[in-house]
Amino acid sequence: MRSITCIRAAAALAAALAAATPAAAKPIYGCFTRAYDAADLAAAPAQVVEELVVQLTLDEGEFYTGFVAARFAAQGRVAGTAAAAGAWHQQWANCVEGEGGVTCSADCGGGMLTVVPRQDGVDVVTSGFGVLREGLVNGPCAGTETLAEVPGQPVTYRLYTAHNNVCSMMSGEK
């Protein structure tokens, strides 16, 4: 009888620990995207991103390569600027998995973002991750624009899982 009670207690403890373990126990990689429609943007007039694509590729070991592409909305702090002209801005990043998600550091222009897993995609949290305007040739890191509504203040973008072809077309990877 005592062994049955111990087994039940152990099973209950294991179930409780499993329930308390975040869903992020598996590696976070893949393609995530979102296009915010007119209603989304009208509800958040300070938001500067109209479309966002994030690709995380798991390299050997525990490191990731990140690719981020953004198209800015013609509103918020970028309204009337070159960033709001509809061109895509892109950035490669070096990323590492940690508690709570994958943190990425921009290759050029500075800033960091964290990709936090959700059941149907990810949340991208940043306060200063910069992306570069596509085709700009005025030197390395010229034309960097941050994804934050207010630089230095955190903002979260909710993205959904997409087919890897979407990210591959954006990043130029096969």
The predicted structure's pLDDT at residue 140: 64
Q: Give CA torsion, residues 125, 47, 36, 53, to 10 deg.
A: -40
The predicted structure's pLDDT at residue 136: 55
* Buried/exposed code over 98-115 (b: 16+ C-beta within 10 A; e: otherwise): eeebbbbebbebebbbbb
The predicted structure's pLDDT at residue 39: 97
Confidence label for 135 from pLDDT (cuts 50, 70 and 90): low
pLDDT (mean) for 15-25: 40
Phi, psi of 30 (to 5 degrees): 135, -165
The predicted structure's pLDDT at residue 3: 38
Lowest mean pLDDT of 41-45, 60-64, 71-75, 117-121, name the range: 60-64
The predicted model scores a pTM of 0.79
Confidence label for 138 from pLDDT (cuts 50, 70 and 90): low
The predicted structure's pLDDT at residue 55: 94
User: pLDDT of 54-107, one tens digit each?
Assistant: 999 988 777 889 999 999 999 999 998 888 878 888 898 999 988 889 999 988
The predicted structure's pLDDT at residue 34: 96
Phi, psi of 146 (to 5 degrees): -85, 150
Contact predicate 49/72, CB 8 Å = yes
